[in-house]
Amino acid sequence: MLRFSLFVAAGVLSIASSAYASSLIATSDSIGASLVNTVDASSDATSSIGDDKVVLDARDDAASFVGSEGSIRGAHLEAALTHIRQTLPNLEATDMQLAEAILAR
Tell me phi and psi for residue 84, to 5 degrees.
Answer: -65, -45
Q: Which domain holds residue 83?
A: 2-104
pLDDT tens digit sequence for 25-78: 545 555 555 445 555 555 555 456 767 889 999 999 999 999 999 999 999 999
Residues whose CB is less than 8 angstroms from the CB of residue 36 and which lie 6 or more positions away in sequence, other chains included? none
For range 75-92, the mean pLDDT: 93
Confidence band for 15, pLDDT divided at 50, 70 and 90? low
Count of domains observed in the chain: 1
Q: How confident is the model at residue 4, as a pLDDT?
A: 57
Asked whether the beta carbons of 77 and 61 are under 8 A apart, the reply is yes
Q: How confident is the model at residue 105, as a pLDDT?
A: 76
